[in-house]
Amino acid sequence: MSKISQDYIALYEFLMDKNIEHQTFETMSGIVQKKFNKNDYLSVGTLLSMLIRHGDLPGIIQKVSAYYIIYDLFRSDGQTESPFLPFFFTVLEQNTIPTRLNIIEKNFLSQLLGNGTKELAKLTPAHILKTDSIPLQVDLFTLKEHVIGKQHELPATVKAGLMNTIPGPTAPSAENPIKELMEGLALSSISPLKNTFAPQFMSVAPPLLPFEDELAWFDLTNRAYHMPEYDASNSIGVEAKKLIIQAFKQALNLGQQFVLLEELNKDPNLVYQIGLTPAKLPDLVENNPIVSVEILQKLINSMQITEYFNILVNMDITLHSIEVVNRLTRSIDLPTEFIHLYISNCISKCEAMKDERKQLRLVRLVCVFLQSLIRNKMINVKELFIEIEAFCVEFSRVKEAAALYRLVKQVEIGEGAVGTQKPKE
C-alpha cells in the first residue's frame, strides 16, 4: 500500500474517531495540515467533498469537521478564498427536510462562509450540536455573486465539465470498501482527485454551404434512450427494491410484506441498498408501519439511525407513527432521550392543535400510547411526572386522559409505598 493511500485512510479514520467531537476545529485542521504536503491540499479537499457528497461521512460531527478542514486548508496558505466555495453553496442550496441536524449543518456552513474561521476555531463539534436549531440569516449574497463571477471567467470547456464520480452500491465481494476506495483514489491513473471530466477541445461549427470532401456530421441520439447498467450485481435484491418503492406509495398486502422481509432477512446488507433514506421514512411509516418497524430494527447499528429517529420525532403524530414507536420500544433498546423527546413532542402537538375534533382524537391516541409505555415499564414515570400530570389535567374531560391520570397516580403511590417501607429487623 502506498504512503498517500495510507494517509487517506488515516484521514478517514481520524474523522470517524469517537473522540473527534471533543477536539477543537483549529486542532483538527492543524493535524491534517501537518499530515499532508501543501501540494496535496487540493486532493485532500476533493477527497473530503467527495466523501460528503456520496454519503461516506453520514454523521453531522464528521461533516462539520470536514467542512472546516476544507475551508481552512487554503486560508493557512495565505489565500483569500477557497476553490471549494461552489461546493459549499451547493450544500447550502440543497432542498432538504428542515430537521434539527440539517439546520445545524447549514448554520455552521453559513457561519464559516460569512465570518471565516475566527469564531469557530476554538469550538468543538460537541459545542456545535448544542447550538439552537433556528436557521441563521447570514448575508452571503456578495460572496455568492463573486463566486458566480469567477465561474463566468472560466473557459467554456471547463464550464462544460461534469462531476467525475458517480454514486454506486458497495460491491458484494468487497471486504474493506473504504480501504479499496482510498487505494484506488491514490494509485489509479484516472483518479478523480487528479483528473477532470471535461471536453478537451471546441467543436468547429459546420459550414453553411456544401463542399467537396466535407466531414459527415452525425446527430447524436437522445441519452434518455439508453439505460446504462454499471452495477456488477444489478440482480441482487431487485424484488425488494421494487416492493420498497411500492411501499412508499401504498400499503403492501401480507404476501408482499412477507416477500420483502424474507429478502431482507437473506442478506443483512440489502437494507442499505434498497433506496430507503431518512427523508422517505414518513411515507413508509404511514403506508406500511409493520415493514417500517422491521427495517428500523435492521438499521439500529447504522450510522444514520440518529437521523431516522430525528425524522420519527418530527413527523406528524398519527396512529401509524405512534404504532411504529410503540413497537420499537418493545423490540429494541431505544435511547431514553428519544423516547422523552417523542413524548414531549406528542404533548406539544396535542396542545397546539386548533381543530377540536382532531385534537380530541390525537389526545386519545397519545393517552393510550402513554398507558402502554407505563404498563410495560418502558419509561420512568418520575422523570416525566410533571409534564404528563399537566397534560392529563388540561384534557381531563377526555376519558382516556382521566384513566392515564389515575394510572400515573397509582404508579406514584406504589413507588412511594415501596420507598417509605421500613426494613424488617
Local confidence band at 423 (pLDDT 50, 70, 90 cut-offs)? very low
pLDDT of residue 421: 35
Contacts 24+ apart (CB under 8 A), 182-187: 182/5, 182/8, 182/9, 182/12, 183/1, 183/2, 183/5, 185/5, 185/8, 185/47, 186/2, 186/4, 186/5, 186/8, 187/2, 187/5
Query: Which sequence spans correspond to the domains of the chain?
Result: 3-165+179-187, 276-416
pTM of the model: 0.46
Distance in angstroms (rounded) separating the CA atoms of residues 388 and 395? 11
Q: Crossing angle, helix 60-75 and helix 85-92, to 10 degrees?
A: 150
The stretch 102-113 carries a mean pLDDT of 86
Block residue for cell numbers 495510507 = 6
Asked if 289 contacts 331 with a C-beta cutoff of 8 angstroms, the reply is no
Block residue for cell numbers 489509479 = 188
Contacts of residue 248, defined as CB under 8 A and 6 or more positions apart, other chains included, come to 280, 283, 284, 287
Q: Residue 296: is its pLDDT beyond 90?
A: yes
pLDDT tens sequence across 136-187: 776 777 777 877 777 777 666 566 666 667 666 655 554 567 777 777 777 6
The stretch 6-10 carries a mean pLDDT of 86
pLDDT of residue 151: 72
H or E element that contains 112: helix 100-115
Distance in angstroms (rounded) separating the CA atoms of residues 423 and 165? 70
A 10 A CB-CB count for 381 gives 20
DSSP conformation class of 94: -
Distance in angstroms (rounded) separating the CA atoms of residues 403 and 371? 9
Overall residue count recorded for the chain in this entry: 425
Helices and strands per DSSP (H, E), number in the chain = 20, 0
204-213, 226-235, 398-407: segment of lowest average pLDDT = 226-235
Block residue for cell numbers 439508453 = 226
Contacts of residue 301, defined as CB under 8 A and 6 or more positions apart, other chains included, come to none
Q: Which of 221, 81, 255, 184 is nearest to 263 (CA)?
A: 255
Higher pLDDT, 108 or 137: 108
DSSP conformation class of 248: T
Local confidence band at 219 (pLDDT 50, 70, 90 cut-offs)? low
pLDDT of residue 419: 34
> In 3-state terms, what secondary structure has residue 275?
coil
pLDDT tens sequence across 85-103: 888 888 888 877 778 888 8
